[in-house]
Each structure stands twice: as C-alpha cells, then as structure tokens.
Amino acid sequence: MDYFFEKEVENNARGRVEAEEKVTGKAKYSAEYDIPELAHAVMVGSTIAAGRILNIDIANAKEAPGVIDILTHNNRPTVPGIATEEAWKKSRFSLPVFHTDKIYYNEQPIAMVIAETLEDATYAASLVTADYEESEFETNFKEERDSVETIETKEEKGSRENWQNADHIIEREFKIAMEVHNPMEPHATIADWKNGELTLYDKSQNVYGVQGNIAKLFDISENNIRVISEFVGGGFGSGLLVWPNTVVAIMASQHLNRPVKVVLTRPQMFTSVGHRPESWQRFKIGADKSGKFLGCYHQAKHATSSHTGHTDNITGLTWKHYHFPNIKTEQEEIPLNIPKPTWMRGPGDASGAFAIESIVDELCEKLDMDPVEVRLMNLSETDSQGKPWSTNYLNECLKIGAEKIGWNKNRKSKPGELKEGEWNIGYGMAVGFWNAGRQDADASIEMKPNGDIIVRSAMTDIGTGTGTAMQNMAHNFLGIPKNKIAIELGDSDLPYAPSQGGSWGLSSLSGGVAAACKSLKTKLVDLAYGSKFEKGKGNLKLVKLNSDGISMEDDSLEPVSYKSIFDKNNLGVLNVKASSSPREEAKKYGFCSSAAHYVKLKVNKLTGDIKILEMVSVADGGKIINDQAAANQVIGAAIGGIGMALMEKQDIDHNHGRLIGNDLAGYHFPCNADAPIIDVSFIDKPDYNRNPAGAKGLGEVGIIGCAAAITNAIYNATGKRMRDLPVTPDKILMA
Amino acid sequence: MKTEASNTYSRRFFIKSSSAFTTLAFIPNSVKSFFYQVKEKFFVKKQKIPLSVSINNKEYRLDVDTRTTLLDLLRENIGLTGTKKGCDHGQCGACTVHIDGERRLSCLTLTAMIPGKEITTIEGLAKDGKLHPMQEAFIENDGFQCGYCTPGQIMSAVACVQEGHTGSTEEIKEFMSGNLCRCAAYNGITRAIQKVAP
Ligand code: FES
Ligand code: FES
C-alpha cells in the first residue's frame, strides 16, 4: 500500500514549500488579512423561492449598535455589468445581485449589513425583514424532468440500428443527488477600493479570471484591480467563477470608501458558490457474445437554475475511454428555482462514469466475463476525433490495480459468496478518465547575485501542491538546489496563469516555468560567456546552474560565479519572464489522464451499513512531479468518491423551495473514520507531447469512476444493484 | 459608531430571563410576539465587559463584546488567525484549541467563559522557535492539502496522543473524526499521528 508513505522520494524529504506556514497557522487565507479600518458585512437571504420584493424593512437593523449602513437594491451603487436585464444577460454573471427586486431562489442575497464588528453585523442582519409578492416556483427535479425531451449533444456516430440485434443489450436508469463542494474554508472577500484602485483578497481558483470579470462588471480597467489568493482553503470547482459575495464586497467598499470583508457562513456556502446538479441518466449498451461493445445510447438530464444556466457535460465521457462503433448521446437541463450549479470535481464525467461503469459491470455479469478483461478489450485507441493517444496507460492501471487488491485471488464472481458474521463482503472496480488539457501560461524568475531565485506565477494553490511543483520543476530544468528556489503565486500582479481547474493547472504551468528557465539560462550564458558560447546544437542543455555559479556539463567553458556575472554587468537582480502555449504538434494527438479504482467493502445484512475496507487507485498522470502531493490528490479524490457514492445529498423541501441540509451536521461528507487508508500508485511515465515536464493532470481522475467501483462492490457483496446515489443504508435495506 | 447602552442588568437577571426564553416554545404566538417586543425594549444587545485572558502564555486585558466567541476573539480581535472557522457550529473541528490542555471547539466557547483558563492555539504550539513534533510529522507525512483544517487537526492530534487514543489505525481515525478535512488528507493525518504516538 505504500507508495505514499514508504517510498523514499528524492529531494522531497521535508514536504511542501508552504508546509511550515500551514502547520503553524501563519498561512493567510482571504479573510485573514489585517487591514486598517476594516468593516464587516453579513448578507441577508430571501425567504421565498420565487417572486418579487415589495419592501425591505431595514429600520430596526439600522438602529442596532455598530451598524454603518445596509445595502439593498434600493441604495446600492450601480454596477454597470448588471445594471439592466440586458447588461446582466450579456455579462453572464450568475445574479444581478442587489440590482433587481426579482427573487429567483431561496436565500438569494437581498440585503447586506455592514457594521463595525462581525457580531454587530450578524445581529443586525437578523433584524432585516422583507415583504414579498410570491409566485409559483419549481424545485422538484424529479417531477419536472419527464416533461422535457433530451436533445442530441453531437452528431450520432454510426447508427442505433446497427446494434439493435446485438447478443446482449441492457438499458438502465441512474440518479445522482445534488452535491455541494463545501471546501473547509468558507468563501471570503476583502474588498479595498481606494482612489480608483481596487485590491481584492478573494478566495478563488483563478485570480486573472476574477480580475477580468470584475473589470467588465464594474467597467474599470484591469490595471486598477489586484486580486490576491495566496492561500486557498480548498475549492473543488467552487472557486472557478466569480460569485455575488465578491461583487457585493466591492459595492460596499465603493459605497463606504472603506475596506469591507464578507465571509460566507456555512449555511450560505450551500446556496452561494455552486453545487453539482442533481442528475438523471438512461444508458443503453449493446455487446456481442465475445464481450465487444457494439453501441450505446446515453441520455442525461440535470437540474440547473432558472435565472442563469449551467451545463454539466454528463455524456462527454461516453465518447472517450471505450471504443463504441455506434454512439448516440443526448442531454437536457431542467431549470428550477435553485441557486446556480457549477463544475464540481470531475464535472460531468464523474456523473457520466457512474452510469457507464455501472452498466458495464452489469453487462459483464450477463456475459459471464471478468469486468477487468471486458474493459481491457474495449479500451479506445483513439480520442473521439480519431486522433491517437499521445500516451494512455489505462490498461496498465487496470492490471496493476487488480494485482494489488488481489482481484483474481480474493474476489468471487457470484455475489454474496463472501461472508463474515453479519457482514457480506464484496469487491468492485471501475475506471476514471479525463482529457489532459493544457492552456497558455507565463512565469518569471528573479535571480539574486548569490544565486537565489524566485519563481513567480499567478496560478493559485488550492491544496494541490502547485508551489512545490514549481520548485521541483525549476530545480529539474535549471539544476539550482531547491533550498535556493522560492515561490510566489496566487496574485494577479504576477505573470499570467489560467484557472486552477479541469486538471490543467500543473500541465499549463510547467510550460511557463520551462520557458522562464530557458530564458534565464540564455541570459546567464550570454552575460557569462558572450560569443564564446556556441548557440544551438542543444548546447543550452549542457548549461548547469549550480548553487553559486554557472558551468558547462562537458567542461567546454570555464565555470563562472553568479557574483562575478552580476558585478561585471552591474546588476542588482536579474529578471526574466516567458510565455508558453501548447505545442503545435500537440494537435496531432489525443491527451488523457486515467485511473483504475478497486474497492473491497462490507455491507451489514441487518442494518445496511457499508464500510469501505480497502481502496486501491492506480493513476496515469504522466510524469509525477511531486509524489506525495500527487498521491494526496488522488487520495482526496477517492475519498470524495466515497462521499458521492454513500453520503452526499442535498435535499430540498419542495413545499417551501428551501434547501434542507445547510450545515455540516446535515450534509455529510467523509470524516477520517469513513475512509480506509487509501492505496495509491502511479504509472509515472512522461508525456512530453503534452508539456515540457511530461505531466498530465490528476485532480479529476481520482474521483471519476469511484462511485461505480463502490456500487459494483456493493452488488458483489449483496446481489443488489444500486443505481441511485448516494447509497444510504435505507436504500440497501429496501432494495 | 453608535454609543452603547450601559450594562445595568446583573448576571442573575440575565440567567433568569434567558430561562424565560427557553419556555417560549410552549407559549402561543400572540404571547410570543408580546414577549419579543418586551425583549426589544429591555435587553441590551451589545455589552462590553472587561476581561483578562491568557492565550499562549500571554496575558490579554480586553474589553470584549459578550457575544464574542473565543474563535472570533482570536481571529477578529487579537490577530491570531491560525485558528480557523469552518462552520461556527461545532460541526467541523477547524476551530479546535486547547483549553487547560484539553481539545475544545473555540466556536462554541464564549470569550466570557475563559478567564482563569489557559488557552493554547496553533500559534502557541511551537516552543522556542522549534516546531512541535506533531507539526513536523504533518509536514513529513503531507497531512494536509489546502491547509485550512490543519491547525484544528494538529491541535486535535496532539490531544489525541495525550488522551492515549492511538492504539490502532482505526482508533486514531475514530478519535480524529471530529475534524473534517474536505481535501481528505486523512492518510497523511493518520500516519502523522502514528509517527508521533508512543
Ligand atoms: S468552526 Fe468550530 S467546529 Fe467548525
Ligand atoms: S487540508 Fe484542505 S480541508 Fe483539510
């Protein structure tokens, strides 16, 4: 089990670059900056699900001690990007917050109290009341979904007729509850608008995204906005968009000419920063006697908010990891009076994988074939456009995982055969798959005369280990020892980086870091050797940056100390900056990350309790830049998969259109005892077509497929097919 | 800023009247609304009381809003932001501190309850510039990702060892389950504690 712990990792003995700050409490998250004159703001939500505000009564609240002002749609400063219905639709911002009297969902922000202290603001917020004109609302996905037809997502491949007489055809329906990201750090913003300059300490996975969006909404120049998200307490997708809490904090700061802090309460975290939408899927699969897949027809519907859309590409995965000669996919969204959904870890694919990977398991039973074998014989050799995979080691993942959990030794193919007292034991498996993307990214390096460098990028680190990866990469590209490499990130004043999402963060950033390292080398050889250095012929690769100076690996030129280079050229510091984009040749290939998940669990015959006993994940994430952090990612995602499979569900009270689970006692995700020690391993083979580091993203594949691995194991234990997530004990007992 | 009403009610009055509140649930609505009106008139919403408290071996003399929790006192008033707020409801463990050496949730502790007690937060764990062995173990075993739950995890972990709940992986996991980690760095957290446990 123990890639994660026992393997000695070279140069990685003492953890992450920011580790000490995190274990001592020094790391500063968005709400924790000490700004003079800071005012505290608390938002008030609507108490109806649809209608119109007739009147907001703020009189009592205004009288409460410490209150500075209260913003509502009657008195807020105008934000051009949401000032009119037309502007709002154009801006595509999630809500015309405080710019409308319309109510689209329960707990929609209708007012915000700004006060001297948090206690003052919290108390006064409880005194704000509103009268509404209520209108009909719809929050019931199940009731609405049948009235809506699915429509084709892309042109059908082949035809459904080609496989209508297949030897084996199965058709099943699958349901997944609404899930909420709930990073441990509540979203928070400190907005400080002074003399036309706006500083935002904002919890975000994308500082440039926040900067660009806020510039458009407020119609100010991006140059006047600085966004800082140095430490981000988790995101899982909730920090990819700009949300109303950021916008109202800016409004308040502009209005009062004072820095203002808005921190969401945990209940507000359930309604303010997105969720994975509730979904329904129907999947039909056909195969011949030998187990070859002949075709599939995949339909999906998911909930969305009526006031602003969101699409989870649930049927996207269907085109990716298996080879189906015939594919038809259809989707539709069901608009409801609920807050806006958004991408949540493994968006679309995590939902789609539950259907595909479950039905393949069922098919294997019908075929009387091993689920690993059937998968191996149906893996796709090209991406959906027919391009060959640059690298795809899913087959190896499958084999290694099977070996590790003892698939062939321990598992019984007939369900219910392994028992231990009142427990049934079962094994299950499934795979995860994700496009390995890459985007443009810049990076810069500053070098001091003693050879210390600072590598900089605006990329955030939401816990993935971005900073440590930057340090590892710079060390690999340059040779400079790690203790001389400092990292700065999470700030829009730093070189451009895309959002940290979609598992492309590290992949993109490696291009930027590699390019900056190359510029630094070029500049240093130029200063040190001038024309003595023969350009081209891959000579730059021979240049080594040591701790105190530069040398050539083949000793063709004399070593020169940094100090003398800096002195000779009268330099205080040396700065380089470089950009990067995916390579042209990359267009020839398909790129993917993948994983195989294996689960052993037990199900209690009397209570329906499920206990995960073992979980093995083997992932292909290309070259692994930082073993511990990469493993930690996959562990976290796998445990997120346990949550998705067994626990996570947001209920809605359809009589009042209100969310029911709005705290961590009501909405469950795994605690320490809910998960075993997860066994993670990697293929660890580079894909240099993707980027100079050879790394492919790992954030999503860890969760995609996990839920199906678990429900397949539940079937193996009990003979009960669970197609409705989460599988709570009551569902087991009723099945 | 509004001027604040002075505190003219004794603590005894406060206790009596708050127990009157608890009986509210059984009173019909009209009486309730009457009571709320009375409450609006007679209750001072904001009172400040002088307190001296000891945090990380440092004495603080403060004028504290009686509504302030220990968590908000630390984070908003005295700049010790290492202790985290994950829920403010006693449901996540992010705010765990030591009160007289035992792990406690600072979001469920009013500041008014702590005079005379010794509070230790994550900032007070390292001694003489040297990290606590549990902090070292969290670093070495990568017992975190985003780090937001980490101070609470470490404070709980130190107590977990002191309480002697480290007999097995399962026991550690059970006794660390009051500290949620959405990043789910549970492998590393558990292993860090095993490395420190006797
Ligand atoms: S903040 Fe205290 S338990 Fe969550
Ligand atoms: S490390 Fe992110 S919540 Fe625990």
Say which CATH number the domain at B166 has.
1.10.150.120
Instruction: Give the span between the Cα atoms of B192 and B140, in whole angstroms.
Output: 8
Q: Report the separation in Å between the CA atom of A636 and the middle of ligand 2, taken as the mean of its atom positions.
A: 9
Angle at B187 between CA B186 and CA B189, to 5 degrees: 60
Which of B141, B145, B187 faces A464 most closely, judged by CB atoms?
Answer: B145
B110 Cβ below 6 A of ligand 1 = no
Instruction: Give the span between the Cα atoms of A390 and A476, in whole angstroms.
Output: 23
Question: Is B133 near chain A, with CB under 8 Å?
Answer: no
Residues B96, B131: one domain? no
The DSSP annotation for A446-513 comes to EE-TTS-EEEE-----SSS-HHHHHHHHHHHHH---GGGEEEE-SBTTSSP---S-TT-HHHHHHHHH
The percent of residues in chain A predicted with pLDDT above 90, rounded, is 93
Residues A100, A224: one domain? yes
Res A539: pLDDT: 80
Res A11: pLDDT: 42
Residue A571 lies in a domain: yes
Residues B82, B101: one domain? yes
Q: Report the separation in Å between the CA atom of B93 and the middle of ligand 1, taken as the mean of its atom positions.
A: 5
- Closest Cα to atom 4, ligand 2: which residue? B181
| Interchain CB distance below 8 Å, A463 and B4 | no
Is the predicted pLDDT of residue A489 greater than 70, yes or no? yes
Residues A494, A527: one domain? yes
Residues 457-486 of A with CB under 8 A from B: 462-465
Q: Report the separation in Å between the CA atom of A265 and the middle of ligand 1, taken as the mean of its atom positions.
A: 11
Q: What is the mean pLDDT of residues A680-701?
A: 94
Find the radius of gyration of the CA atoms of chain A.
27
Residues A229, A335: one domain? no
Is the predicted pLDDT of residue B45 greater than 70, yes or no? no
Strands (E), A188-278: 188-194, 197-202, 225-228, 260-263
> B124, B184, B186, B182: which is closest to B155 by C-alpha?
B124
Residue B165 lies in a domain: yes
Instruction: Give the span between the Cα atoms of A198 and A201, in whole angstroms.
Output: 10
Residue B25 lies in a domain: no
The percent of residues in chain A predicted with pLDDT above 70, rounded, is 98
Instruction: Give the span between the Cα atoms of A429 and A432, in whole angstroms.
Output: 10
A695, A631 Cβ separation under 8 angstroms: no
Span A95-148, pLDDT tens digits: 999 999 999 999 999 999 999 999 999 999 999 999 999 999 999 999 999 989
Q: How confident is the model at residue B41 (pLDDT cuts 50, 70, 90)?
A: low
Res B33: pLDDT: 63
Is the predicted pLDDT of residue A267 greater than 50, yes or no? yes
Question: Is B57 near chain A, with CB under 8 Å?
Answer: no
| Interchain CB distance below 8 Å, B2 and A67 | yes
Span A607-652, pLDDT tens digits: 999 999 999 999 999 999 999 999 999 999 999 999 999 999 999 9
A603, A424 Cβ separation under 8 angstroms: yes
Tokens of B173: 């996991």
- Closest Cα to atom 3, ligand 2: which residue? B181
Residues A336, A405: one domain? yes
Chain B residue closest in CA terms to A186: B86
Segments forming the whole domain that contains residue B164: 125-198
User: How many CB atoms lie under 10 A from the CB of residue A154?
Assistant: 13
CATH number for the domain harbouring residue B53: 3.10.20.30
Average pLDDT, chain A: 95
B171 Cβ below 6 A of ligand 1 = no
- Residue that is last in its domain, among A550, A581, A612: A581
Question: Is B58 near chain A, with CB under 8 Å?
Answer: no
A681, A570 Cβ separation under 8 angstroms: no
Q: What is the mean pLDDT of residues B166-187?
A: 98
How many domains, in total, are found in chain B?
A: 2
Paired with A262 in beta bridges are: A41, A189
Quote the DSSP letter at residue B76.
I
Residue A310 lies in a domain: yes
Q: Is A655 exposed, middle or buried (0-12, 13-18, 19+ CB in 10 A)?
A: exposed
Quote the minimal CA–CA distance from B84 to chain A in Å.
8
Residues A563, A447: one domain? yes
- Residue that is last in its domain, among B72, B98, B124: B124
**Residue of A23, A117, A238, A680 for testing the chain B interface, max B β-carbons within 10 Å:** A23
Q: Report the separation in Å between the CA atom of B149 and the middle of ligand 2, taken as the mean of its atom positions.
A: 5
Helices (H), A154-243: 207-218
Residues B111, B146: one domain? no
Q: Report the separation in Å between the CA atom of B91 and the middle of ligand 1, taken as the mean of its atom positions.
A: 5
Residues A335, A392: one domain? yes
Question: Is B11 near chain A, with CB under 8 Å?
Answer: no
Residues B193, B131: one domain? yes
Span A341-358, pLDDT tens digits: 999 999 999 999 999 999
Calculate the dihedral angle through the C-alpha atoms of A558, A559, A565, A568, rounding to the nearest 10 degrees. -40
- Cis? peptide before A726, omega within 30° of 0: yes
For chain B, give the number of residues: 198
Is the predicted pLDDT of residue B87 greater than 50, yes or no? yes
Res A7: pLDDT: 40
B86 Cβ below 6 A of ligand 1 = yes
In the three-class reduction of DSSP (H, G, I as helix; E, B as strand; rest coil), residue A398 is classed as helix
Question: Is A673 near chain B, with CB under 8 Å?
Answer: yes
Is the predicted pLDDT of residue B4 greater than 50, yes or no? no
Is the predicted pLDDT of residue A536 greater than 80, yes or no? no
CATH number for the domain harbouring residue A304: 3.30.365.10
A122, A42 Cβ separation under 8 angstroms: yes
Which of A15, A234, A265 faces B148 most closely, judged by CB atoms?
Answer: A234
A485, A467 Cβ separation under 8 angstroms: no
Residue A1 lies in a domain: no
B74 Cβ below 6 A of ligand 1 = no
Residues A355, A465: one domain? no
Substitution site in A22, A181, A184 for ligand 2 pocket (most atoms within 8 Å of beta carbon): A184
Using a CB-CB distance cutoff of 8 angstroms, which residues of chain A are in contact with residue B125? Answer: 24
A685, A396 Cβ separation under 8 angstroms: no
A257, A283 Cβ separation under 8 angstroms: no
Res B27: pLDDT: 53
Residues B112, B100: one domain? yes
Instruction: Give the span between the Cα atoms of B134 and A288, in whole angstroms.
Output: 57
Res A535: pLDDT: 74
Residue A334 lies in a domain: yes
Residue B40 lies in a domain: no
Instruction: Give the span between the Cα atoms of A666 and A649, in whole angstroms.
Output: 9
Instruction: Give the span between the Cα atoms of A15 and A24, in whole angstroms.
Output: 14
Instruction: Give the span between the Cα atoms of A266 and A272, in whole angstroms.
Output: 10
Helices (H), A219-340: 244-256, 266-272
Using a CB-CB distance cutoff of 8 angstroms, which residues of chain B are in contact with residue A628? Answer: 142, 188
Instruction: Give the span between the Cα atoms of A731 and A608, in whole angstroms.
Output: 8
| Residue found by looking up tokens 């099943």 in the block | A172
Res B37: pLDDT: 64
Q: How confident is the model at residue B40 (pLDDT cuts 50, 70, 90)?
A: low
Question: Is A231 near chain B, with CB under 8 Å?
Answer: yes
Chain A residue closest in CA terms to B139: A15
Segments forming the whole domain that contains residue A321: 276-437+587-734
Residues B131, B119: one domain? no
Instruction: Give the span between the Cα atoms of A412 and A365, in whole angstroms.
Output: 12
Residues A388, A259: one domain? no
For chain A, give the number of residues: 735
Res B7: pLDDT: 39
Q: Is A379 exposed, middle or buried (0-12, 13-18, 19+ CB in 10 A)?
A: middle
The whole-angstrom distance between residue B145's C-alpha and the CA centroid of its chain comes to: 22
DSSP strand pairing (A67-72 vs A109-115): antiparallel
Res A1: pLDDT: 29
In the three-class reduction of DSSP (H, G, I as helix; E, B as strand; rest coil), residue A108 is classed as coil
CB pairs under 8 A between A and B: 207
Q: How confident is the model at residue A500 (pLDDT cuts 50, 70, 90)?
A: confident
How many domains, in total, are found in chain A?
A: 3
B105, B95 Cβ separation under 8 angstroms: yes
Please tell me chain A's helix, strand, coil percentages from 3-state DSSP, rounded to the nearest 5: 30, 25, 45
Sort residue A115 into left (φ over 0), alpha (ψ -120 to 50) or beta.
Answer: beta
pTM of the model: 0.93
Res A541: pLDDT: 87
Instruction: Give the span between the Cα atoms of A49 and A53, in whole angstroms.
Output: 11
Which of A64, A232, A677 faces B146 most closely, judged by CB atoms?
Answer: A232
Residues A486, A591: one domain? no
